[in-house]
Amino acid sequence: MISVHDGGAFDAVGRLAAFRREFHRCLTARGDALFELADALLCGDAPVRSLVELSLVGEHRRGHGSLYAALNRGRIDIERLRTAVAAVPLPRAADGRIVLAVDVTCWLRPEAHTCPERVLCHTYGRGKDTHIGVPGWPYSFVTALEAGRTSWTAPLDARRLAPGDDAATVTAGQLRDVVRRLIAAGQWQPGDPDVWIVADAGYDGPRLAFLLADLPVQVLVRMRSDRVLRRPAPPRLPATTGRPRRHGGEFIFGDPASWGDPDVATTTDTRLYGTATARAWHRLHPRLTHRTAWTAQHGPLPIIEGTVILLTVDRLPSGATAKPVWLWWSQATATDAEVDLLWQAFLRRFDIEHTFRMLKQTLGWTSPKLRDPHAADRWTWLVLAAYTQLRLARTAASDLRRPWERPAPPERLSPARVRRAFRHLRAKAGCPAAAPKPSRPGPGRPPGHPNRHRAARHDVHIVTAATSNKPNSNTKKTKTPNSPRPRRTG
């Protein structure tokens, strides 16, 4: 097993070779074919457009039929591979802490009617500025973020969301497993700063903080601008009868009159955003009800206090209108320095979009036309293992730039440029895969005998208000009224 403490003893090529050996041990069936498939993914010159074209790469010594055969019938010890990826040296924030970003991206399969376990994936921009649902396989990714502007992140885990899964519960379990693996690998030790988890507005931050309260983590999420939180309950007056109050006055995001004076206010001059102003209010909590994710919670619901941060900037680099950003942090109070680090960490969360673009457009993560979702899981982990090798080769790769590209210093090479030089590093890191054995193709289907075994067709799983708690119900979704959206009260 790879140890994170071996970084001083091995150079970049040595760490890369150690990870490649461990990665090969994680491939338990058709391992050599899967390993060479990952190498072909890394040694290709052009973006991956189809899976079968990888067999034309010189590093792939097997036939094109072995590609799909390896994905459909191969086996990967994913838990061991997760442990190996967690043991690789991780990027750190400016203060030395680990910052994890969680987000969901989709492998769209709109016309694949024979693929099971498809759900409607939220997409934006496929029409004219419209939000539509497209059938596909959603994957939840957990990545470690670096300090400063960069196109690099460190993907640590990927998990496909099955039909009927609660995103908050699955994400909490995924983050728990990732943090435990990091602790077991020595990435976090007692006395180190807590791990920060950064998420966008699609996640329920208070619930994530509640489910991960026993771990050394702190949660930072963006909240919608129509939320309403509550202040702490006022002190109980003497000789007062009745049940004590659990909630104080309202803090309405859309009503500045309800905010009051902030507990912390900072101003920072930035190059891209102009003047960034952050205001923070302490000890605010949502008013929870026994609905949705809290339905199974017995007894009184918890009071989950946190710090609300309002970030405003003068301008955006794209020229769009700069809207205020609301953040919720799982700690009840925050200092001036913490407020500045928090909103800067949230801006770094968008680096994960560069990783998604690299996985999809360059490494061809969503290019294969696979039918089995388990084969899609195996391909996903092959792509993540390949990207991890790019991270390990980052400091040893040379800049093989095109004549029209600008020179880049070694520490600023993008993942695509490191991929160009991986073919030269592969010879130094070694290839533990065995050479293919000579074989001949099978006879195939006799002429004049078409395939009479039609593949089963599967419906797309649709979650509605009536079927969210009853997966087997066939109740149709009711029409949404055209009245304005009411203000949220929790």
Better-scored residue on pLDDT, 193 or 127: 193
Determine the pLDDT at residue 478.
Answer: 47
> Residue 398 — pLDDT band, cuts 50, 70, 90?
confident
> Residue 470 — pLDDT band, cuts 50, 70, 90?
very low
Sequential DSSP letters for 259-291:
T-S-SEEEEEEETTTEEEEEEEEEEEB----SS
Mean per-residue pLDDT for 209-236?
94
Mean per-residue pLDDT for 34-44?
94
Determine the pLDDT at residue 241.
Answer: 79
For the chain, the maximum distance between any two Cα atoms, rounded to a whole number of angstroms, is 94
Better-scored residue on pLDDT, 317 or 305: 305
**H or E stretch at 424:** helix 422-429
Length of the chain: 490
Mean per-residue pLDDT for 34-51?
93
For residue 160, the number of C-alpha atoms closer than 13 Å in the C-beta half-sphere is 21
- Indicate if the pLDDT at residue 108 is higher than 70: yes
Among 170-179, 389-398, 479-488, where is mean pLDDT lowest?
Answer: 479-488
Domain spans in the chain, listed from the N-terminal domain onward: 1-76+371-400+413-437
Cα–Cα distance for residue pair 55/474, rounded to 1 Å:
45
Determine the pLDDT at residue 465.
Answer: 41
* pLDDT tens, position by position, 401-420: 889 988 888 888 999 999 99
Mean per-residue pLDDT for 323-351?
95
How much is the mean pLDDT over the chain? 88
User: For tokens 């709109």, what's the residue?
Assistant: 110
> Residue 124 — pLDDT band, cuts 50, 70, 90?
confident
* pLDDT tens, position by position, 226-244: 999 999 999 888 878 788 8
* pLDDT tens, position by position, 269-305: 999 899 999 999 999 999 999 887 888 888 889 999 9
With pLDDT > 90 as the criterion, what percentage of the chain qualifies? 66
**H or E stretch at 252:** strand 250-252
Determine the pLDDT at residue 9.
Answer: 32
Determine the pLDDT at residue 129.
Answer: 63
Mean per-residue pLDDT for 427-439?
88
Q: Return the sign of the alpha-carbon dihedral for residues 130, 131, 134, 136.
A: positive
291 — phi, psi (to 5°)?
-140, 170
- Indicate if the pLDDT at residue 47 is higher than 60: yes
- Indicate if the pLDDT at residue 46 is higher than 80: yes
Indicate yes or no: pTM above 0.85.
yes
- Indicate if the pLDDT at residue 421 is higher than 70: yes
Mean per-residue pLDDT for 15-29?
95
User: Cα 244 to the chain's mean position, in Å?
Assistant: 42
